[in-house]
């Protein structure tokens, strides 16, 4: 079209005198051919002719540009950032490696519902066979009944993203125990250490928007830890959970969880003739807001406060005490420093209830996403 317009303009400029003469005759005024007025009239007529011809050609010929639909670019949206919490489960689906170190202090009922370790070996090694609480198959550490125990755990967690909404993961824990005090008259047992119960599972993204993520998590525990040393529970466990992540603003994130710990099998109840198992189901929940206070040059820091609770639905604890109905509630405070593909979390937790899994806990975590 541009070439046609230029060609028309060129032809018009060559034929300019004819147009000029016509204009002179129409006006009825004699103008010399070489006068400035004549040249101006010629140029004006040529331009007008080219413009009219181009307009006619454009009106009569369809153009692809006019018919092509406009391409609309999607408006940019703010994506949710990575998880900032330290104790609540991470709802983010991504390939990552996480290394965590926990130090728990003052564990007063380590065999409660066989949640931390298996039924106290005192039921077999410290009691006579005629005692109503005797259990020759009690798999936990003994003969001592620990009333105060410290523990450290090193946990290596790897997750692999299979698709946009599915990931699988595996967890290898290492545990060390240092008993601090025992019930008098039942003996003791030494410090212990080694590999704990291995874990594996999958995560499924149920919803993923710019501000909200909902993830279903399914985790299995395998009884690989030596229960006689307090390194495992001596039973398998099935654990479904629902994880949520909400971006309330550009600096405020809210993460939460609900789940249930469901043992498969477990030790006999105490006494053995009672109903149920020593191992019990445990419902847990938590919520944790984080507040970004620094975000610059790919570095972000956010303080985090988490409230985490457990409700024991069934089971027993040493010695012959029903654990059903036990409520435990903890406050966790800490902060996460995020940089490039990695982040570091440091936090402290304290029990707010009389019943505890531990009175105090310190946690350090390094996470690398890729």
Beta strands 316-317; 342-351: pairing state: unpaired
Long-range contacts of 292-298 (CB under 8 A, 24+ apart): 292/250, 292/251, 292/252, 292/253, 293/251, 295/251, 298/339, 298/340
User: Which residues, 6+ apart, have CB-to-CB distance to 95 below 8 Å?
Assistant: 159, 160, 161, 167, 369, 370
pTM beyond cutoff 0.85: no
What burial class does residue 2 get, using C-beta atoms within 10 Å of its C-beta: 0-12 exposed, 13-18 middle, 19+ buried?
Answer: exposed
- What pLDDT score does 36 carry? 46
Task: Please state, as a whole number, how many other Cβ atoms lie within 10 Å of the Cβ of residue 351.
Answer: 18
- What pLDDT score does 69 carry? 53
- What pLDDT score does 80 carry? 55
- What pLDDT score does 302 carry? 98
- Cis amide leading into 143 (omega within 30): yes
Distance of CA 104 to the CA centre of its chain: 24
Q: Which DSSP string do the residues of 276-336 spell out, in sequence order?
A: SBSS--EEEEEEEEEE--EEETTEEEEEEEEEEEEEE-S-EETTTEE-TT-EEEEEEEEEE
pLDDT beneath 70: ranges in the chain: 1-80
* CA atoms of 232 and 345, how far apart (whole Å): 26
Beta strands 321-322; 316-317: pairing state: antiparallel
Would you say 290 and 332 are in contact if contact means Cβ atoms under 8 Å apart? no
Q: How many CA atoms lie within 13 A of 271 on its CB side?
A: 8
* Residue 27 backbone dihedrals phi, psi, to 5 degrees: -80, -20
Helix (H) or strand (E) holding 222: strand 212-222
Q: How many helices (H) and strands (E) does the chain have?
A: 5, 16
């Amino acid at each position: 079209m541009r070439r046609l317009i230029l060609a028309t303009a060129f032809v018009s400029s060559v034929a300019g005198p004819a147009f000029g003469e016509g204009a002179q005759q129409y006006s009825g005024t004699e103008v010399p051919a070489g006068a400035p007025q004549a040249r101006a009239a010629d140029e004006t007529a040529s331009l007008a002719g080219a413009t009219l011809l181009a307009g006619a050609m454009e009106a009569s010929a369809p153009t692809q540009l006019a018919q092509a639909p406009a391409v609309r670019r999607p408006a940019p949206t703010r994506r949710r950032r990575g998880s900032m919490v330290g104790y609540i489960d991470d709802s983010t689906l991504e390939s990552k490696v996480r290394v965590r170190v926990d130090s728990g202090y003052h564990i007063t009922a380590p065999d409660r519902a066989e949640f931390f370790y298996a039924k106290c070996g005192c039921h077999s090694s410290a009691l006579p066979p005629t005692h109503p609480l005797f259990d020759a198959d009690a798999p936990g550490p003994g003969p001592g009944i620990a009333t105060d125990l410290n523990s450290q755990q090193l946990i290596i967690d790897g997750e692999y993203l299979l698709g946009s909404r599915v990931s699988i993961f595996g967890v290898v824990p290492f545990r060390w125990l240092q008993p601090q005090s025992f019930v008098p008259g039942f003996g003791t047992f030494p410090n212990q250490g080694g590999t704990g119960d291995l874990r594996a599972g999958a995560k499924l993204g149920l919803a993923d928007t710019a501000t909200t993520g909902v993830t279903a998590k399914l985790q299995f525990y395998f009884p690989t830890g030596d229960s006689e040393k307090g390194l495992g529970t001596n039973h398998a466990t099935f654990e479904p959970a629902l994880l949520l992540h909400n971006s309330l603003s550009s600096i405020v994130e809210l993460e939460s969880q609900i789940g249930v710990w469901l043992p498969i099998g477990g030790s006999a109840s105490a006494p053995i003739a009672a109903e149920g198992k020593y191992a019990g189901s445990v419902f847990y929940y938590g919520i944790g807001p984080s507040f970004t206070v620094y975000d610059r040059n790919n570095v972000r820091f956010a303080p985090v406060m988490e409230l985490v609770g457990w409700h024991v639905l069934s089971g027993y604890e040493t010695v012959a005490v029903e654990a059903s109905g036990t409520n435990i509630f903890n406050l966790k405070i800490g902060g996460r420093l995020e940089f490039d593909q990695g982040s570091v979390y440091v936090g402290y937790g304290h029990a707010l209830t009389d019943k505890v899994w531990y009175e105090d806990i310190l946690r350090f975590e390094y996470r690398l996403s890729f």
